[in-house]
Structure 1
Amino acid sequence: MKTREEIEEILRKHKPYLQKKFKVKEIGIFGSYARDQQKKESDIDLLVELEEPIGWEFIDLKEFLGKKLGNRIDLVTVKALKPQLKNKILEEVIYA
């Protein structure tokens, strides 16, 4: 199980590629990993802000991140956040 710091480092390392290939503007961790409350079975919650919609490539982005992080991930865009959760998530997100 990776630590939040290890995840941040992996995201930072790959950010130039993510920006070029997937038009990623910002990427960050939220949820249990951001709060240091993760368990062995926890997935990694990632929030991504894109420069423009990427369509089906969103699936490729999720698969790429899952492989690099070696864990199940839940990937959501800022625009897709449910209104009742948006403020909470934006307050706790840790950007790489």
Structure 2
Amino acid sequence: MILEALFNGEIYASENVVPKSDKFREATGEIARIMSFFEDKLSKEDYALLEKLCDSHADEGNMTNEVQFKYGFTMGVLMMCEIFHSPFFPPTK
């Protein structure tokens, strides 16, 4: 049941839902390739800073995705409320 899963913390889309497209796999492969390149070229300190930059960029993207998800979900719920209260959807008795 969805309410039980929410209550028990079993729903966490940013960890459980991962794109399965070839384009996504190519992008992650390219990131790994570029990071390997820089790992060989940079000092340990500079590479650690690059990793921190990548982590911060990922955090920023996750925060943006969260806000957009909340907005979209709220918009969907508001649309449902509007539909159920419209004169085109008469209440049943």
User: TM-score when scaled to structure 2?
Assistant: 0.29
Identify the structure with the greater helix proportion.
Answer: 2
Structure ranking higher on relative contact order (CA contacts 8 Å, 6+ apart): 1
Identify the structure with the greater strand proportion.
Answer: 1
Q: Which has the larger radius of gyration?
A: 2
